[in-house]
Structure 1
Amino acid sequence: MANSSLYFLGFLACLFLCSSCQASGKTWCVAQTAAPDDKLQAFLIATCERYNCKAIMPGGPCYQPANIHNHASYALDIAYRGTGVCNPDVGTPTITDPSFGSCHYP
């Protein structure tokens, strides 16, 4: 009986937290896990020609881990902020803030 009550309380807490995230309307755009590296690289180059990618440059707060997926995710979100569109070819919207450590997504 006690376990059932705890599970129910946990379920209610999760439901409340998930509802709060969606109610805030905050979404981000990140790289699809299966997106090919060449497409991510092309998107990254094109985006950084148009937007400020200083955060993913060496020494920037989002440079590490220095891999295409991490850098493309940041670029996708910058472009998403500018256009309102999460590129469907390589990106996917999420309600989970992808920020980590000193790297803060807009």
Structure 2
Amino acid sequence: MVAETRTMSRSLTFFFFLLLSVSVTATLRNLSRAAENKGVWCVASEKATDEQLQSDIDWLCSDEGGFRDCTPISPGGVCYEPNTLRDHASYVMNSYYQELGRTKAQCTFSGTGTTVHTDPSHGACVYVSY
């Protein structure tokens, strides 16, 4: 019984340190990516309506829009909170803008996007800028 308790204790200790290691590594990776963000980001314009922003999200997250990974803005995703159309649209607009080479024309989104020089990243939600 004592041997089983020791083995279980060692297993739990190992699991705890493994979990801690993964958590620290993920946090450092996010901080490292955020530190690399020097430049220009594409975000939703303050003038854009909710309907326009939803349309942008729908298009960008479709096969037609070419941006298929919208999991960060889905429930439970790293960029889900704050749960607003403006924040979600900003994240996918910036991802699209960064992937296509960062020209001002690629951030217009028919007047709903604008470029900024202040990093919109927050918490674990990192907006890349190449």
TM-score when normalising by structure 2: 0.60
Gaps of 5+ in 1: 1-23
Shift of 1:81: 1.2
User: Pairwise mapping of residues 11-30 of structure 1 onto structure 2 (< 5 A)?
Assistant: 26-30=39-43
Matched, 1:100 2:122: yes
Report what 2:53 is aligned to. 40
Matched, 1:72 2:94: no
Select which of 103, 107, 127 maps to 1:86.
107
* Aligned sequence identity (%): 39
Whether the aligned pair in 2 keeps the contact of 1:76 and 1:87 (CA below 8 Å) is no
Gaps of 5+ in 2: 1-36
Counterpart-to-counterpart distance in 1, 2:58 and 2:120: 21
- Map Cα deviations across residues 66-104 of structure 1 (whole Å, 9 max, x no partner): 110000000110110122311251011011000001110
| Higher radius of gyration, 1 or 2 | 2
- Map Cα deviations across residues 41-89 of structure 1 (whole Å, 9 max, x no partner): 1111110112111111111110001110000000110110122311251
TM-score when normalising by structure 1: 0.72
Shift of 1:25: 6.2
How many pairs align? Answer: 83
Matched, 1:60 2:73: no
Secondary structure (helix, strand or coil) at the match of 2:120 reads coil
Shift of 1:26: 1.2
